[in-house]
Amino acid sequence: MGCFFSRRRKPAQGGQQQPGAAGHDAAAGEEKAPPQPLYSWDQRAKIDPKDYTFSGLKDETVGRLPGKVAGQQFVIQDCENCNIYIFDHSATITVDDCVNCKIFLGPIKGSVFFRDCKDCKCIVACQQFRTRDCRKLEVFLCCATQPIIESSTGMKFGCFQYYYPELALQFKDAGLSIFNNTWSNIHDFTPVSGENNWGLLPENAAIQDYVPLPSSEELKAVRISTDAMRSIIPITRGRRQKCSDESCLAVFFAGDYTTANARKLTDEMTGKGFQLVQTKEISMKAEDAYRVFKQCASEFIPLLEKGPVVALEFNGDDAVEACQSTINDVFSGTKVFVSESKASASQDVDNFFNFADMQMGM
For 258, phi and psi rounded to 5 degrees? Answer: -60, -50
CB atoms within 10 A of CB 212: 14
Helices (H), the chain: 21-27, 167-173, 207-210, 258-271, 286-293, 297-304, 319-330, 342-359
Torsion angle of C-alpha atoms 241, 242, 245, 251, degrees rounded to 10:
-130
Tell me how far apart the alpha carbons of residues 182 and 362 are, in angstroms, rounded to a whole number.
Answer: 10
Which segments of the chain are extended strands (E)?
Answer: 53-55, 61-64, 74-77, 83-86, 93-96, 102-115, 118-132, 135-143, 148-150, 155-159, 187-188, 198-200, 247-252, 275-282, 309-315, 336-338
**Of how many residues is the chain composed?**
362
127 in a known ligand binding site: yes
111 in a known ligand binding site: yes
For 280, phi and psi rounded to 5 degrees? Answer: -160, 140
Tell me how far apart the alpha carbons of residues 185 and 213 are, in angstroms, rounded to a whole number.
Answer: 28
Q: Is the dihedral of CA 240, 243, 244, 245 positive or negative?
A: positive
110 in a known ligand binding site: yes
Q: Do 114 and 137 form a contact (C-beta atoms < 8 A)?
A: yes
SS3 at position 247: strand
Q: Do 90 and 69 form a contact (C-beta atoms < 8 A)?
A: yes
Q: Which residues fall in the annotated binding site?
A: 110-111, 127-130
Q: Which residues fall in the annotated binding site for GTP?
A: 110-111, 127-130
